[in-house]
Amino acid sequence: MDARPPLVIAGGAMVAKMPPRLHQALATADKQPWYQLLFPPLLEKIYQQDTAAHRFRRYRLFGAIGIVVFMLYGLVDRVYLLDVYQRVWIWRWLLLPGFAALTIACSFWRPFQPYYEYSVVVASTAFVLGLTWFFSISHMPTAQHYYGGVMLCLVFMMFGLRIPFRLACYSCTVALAYLGWVLCGLHFLDEAARSLIFILLVSSVLLGLLGLFQLEKEERRSYLLALELQRDHRQLQQGFKYLQQISTADGLTGLFNRRYFDQQLHAFWERRLQQQEDIALLFVDVDYFKFYNDSQGHQMGDETLIKVAQVISRHAASRQGCAARYGGEEFVLLLRGCNLPQTTALAEQIRSEVEALALPHPSSGCSKVVTISIGIAVAHASINQQPDWLVNTADAAVYQAKRQGRNRVVAMHSCQPLAG
C-alpha cells in the first residue's frame, strides 16, 4: 500500500533544491580565468567547509611523519654540525617537534580548528627557519650542505602537507628572505657558492609553487565538477518526481488520479488476504454540483472541489489511506484495517467537516451550503469477489444516499466471509 499523503503539483517547475545564490556562484566559478583560485565568497565558504575534514586528516598524518623525519635527522647533526650540536639539539629534538605536536593536538579542539591551517603553516615555516639557523651558526664546511634539508622541508610543506597556495607563497617568501640574509653572512662560502645555493633554492621554490598551484587548481576544479554533478542529479531527481506526480496525481485537487487508484485498489485487495484484515471504500459525491457550477461559475466550482479534496486528504494521510479524484465531482477514499462502524464514523466526520466549510450553495436542493453524500462498502479478508465489487457497492450506496435526500452517509452492506 502506498501511504503517501496526496501529492500537490507546484506549477511544474523542475528546480533542484539549491539556493539561487549558489547557482549563480557555480556559474561564476565555471568561468573563472586560469590564474584565479578562490571561488566566489559563498562557494568558497562551502568549499572550505566540505574539504576541512579531509585537509585536517592530511595535516595530522603528514605532520606526524614530518616530525619523526625531522627528529631522525638530528642524528646527522652530530656529524655535520658537531661544533654547534649542543645549541641545536634541543630545537631539533624538543622545541620544534613539540610545537608541531601541539598544533596537531589542538586540531581536535573545535574552537581552535578555524585557525589550525594557519598554525600548520607557522609550524612548517618554523621548521624551515630553524634548519636554516642550524647551519648558519656552524663553522664546519659540511654545514653548507644543509641547504638540501631546507629544500626538502619546503617541498614537503608544499606537496606533503599541501598547504594552500596563498599561504605557501607567504611561507616561502619568509623562508627565502631569511635564507638570503643567512647566506650573505656565511664567509666560509665564496660568492659563487652562495649564489648557486640561493638560485637552486629559489628555482625549487618557484617550481614547487607552480606545481602546488596546479594541484590546487585541479582539486578545486574537481570539486566544482562534483558539485555541478550533484546539482544535475538533484534536477534529474526533481524531474523524475515531477513526472511521477503528473502521472499519478490529479492536476486540480492534488489527490491521486483514477488510474493510480485502480492500481492501489488491486494492491489493497491482494494484501488483505495476506494480512487478514478488512478494507473499506468511501465513495464521495458533491451534492448538486452541476447546479453549483451553473450558478457560481466553473472557477468557484474548482475552488470548492479543492477544499473538499483537502478535507478528504487530511483523513487519508492520518490513516495511511489512498484518496483519489474518481470523476468530475466524485472522490474515493480507500482504507485498510477499518470495519463498518469505524468507517461509518469516519465518513460522518468527513461529511460534517465539508458542511462546516459553509460554502454557499443557493442552488442546492438539500442545504444552503455545499454538502456531500458518501457511500460505504467494507470487504472482509476472506470474501470471494473481484476488486470491482468494492467500487460498485460503494457507488450503489452513494446512489442510495441521493435517493434518501443527499447530505448523508449510507452503507449498503458489509460483505461477510463465506460460510464453510
Per-residue pLDDT of the chain (420 residues; tens, 9 = 90+): 344 444 333 333 333 456 777 778 888 888 888 889 999 999 999 999 999 999 999 999 999 999 999 999 999 998 899 999 999 999 999 999 999 999 999 999 999 999 999 999 999 999 999 999 998 898 888 888 888 999 999 999 999 999 999 999 999 999 999 999 988 887 667 788 888 989 999 999 999 999 999 999 999 999 999 988 988 888 888 888 878 777 888 889 989 999 999 999 999 888 887 777 889 999 999 999 999 998 999 999 999 999 999 999 999 988 889 999 998 999 999 998 888 899 999 999 999 999 999 999 999 999 999 999 999 999 887 777 788 889 999 999 999 999 999 999 999 865 443 333
Asked whether residue 122 is assigned to any structural domain, the reply reads yes
Same domain, residue pair 337 and 213? no
Q: What is the pLDDT of residue 17?
A: 54
Asked whether residue 249 is assigned to any structural domain, the reply reads no
Same domain, residue pair 301 and 208? no
Asked whether residue 333 is assigned to any structural domain, the reply reads yes
Same domain, residue pair 220 and 267? no
- Please, are residues 410 and 340 in contact by the beta-carbon 8 Å criterion? no
Q: Which phi and psi angles does 410 have, rounded to 5°?
A: -135, 135
Q: What is the pLDDT of residue 170?
A: 96
Structural domain range at position 354: 258-415
Asked whether residue 247 is assigned to any structural domain, the reply reads no
* Strand 330-336 versus strand 279-286 pairing type: antiparallel
Say whether 280 sits in a helix, a strand or coil. strand
Same domain, residue pair 118 and 218? yes
Q: What is the pLDDT of residue 167?
A: 96
* Strand 322-325 versus strand 409-415 pairing type: unpaired
Same domain, residue pair 263 and 158? no
Same domain, residue pair 309 and 211? no
DSSP letter at 349 equals: H
CATH number at 287 reads: 3.30.70.270
- Looking at the 3D structure of the chain, how many domains does it have? 2
- Please, are residues 357 and 386 in contact by the beta-carbon 8 Å criterion? no
Same domain, residue pair 193 and 150? yes
Same domain, residue pair 224 and 287? no
Same domain, residue pair 226 and 108? yes
Last residue of a domain, one of 216, 231, 246: 231
Same domain, residue pair 197 and 345? no
Cα torsion through 229, 234, 235, 238, rounded to 10: 160
- Written as one letter, the residue type at 386 is Q
Nearest alpha-carbon partner for 153 in 106, 102, 86, 100: 100
Cα–Cα distance measured from residue 244 to residue 263, given in angstroms and rounded to the nearest whole number: 14
Asked whether residue 245 is assigned to any structural domain, the reply reads no
Contacts of 287 (CB under 8 A, 6+ apart): 361, 364, 365, 366, 367, 370, 371, 372, 373, 402, 406, 407
Cα–Cα distance measured from residue 25 to residue 397, given in angstroms and rounded to the nearest whole number: 60
Where residue 269 falls (left for φ over 0; alpha for ψ -120 to 50; beta otherwise) is alpha
Asked whether residue 9 is assigned to any structural domain, the reply reads no
Same domain, residue pair 134 and 269? no
Q: What is the pLDDT of residue 2?
A: 44
Say whether 272 sits in a helix, a strand or coil. helix
Please identify which residue in the block is written with the cell numbers 615555516: 125
DSSP letter at 18 equals: -
Cα–Cα distance measured from residue 140 to residue 72, given in angstroms and rounded to the nearest whole number: 20
DSSP letter for each residue of 109-154:
SGGGGGGHHHHHHHHHHHHHHHHHHHHHS--SGGGGGGHHHHHHHH
Same domain, residue pair 152 and 298? no
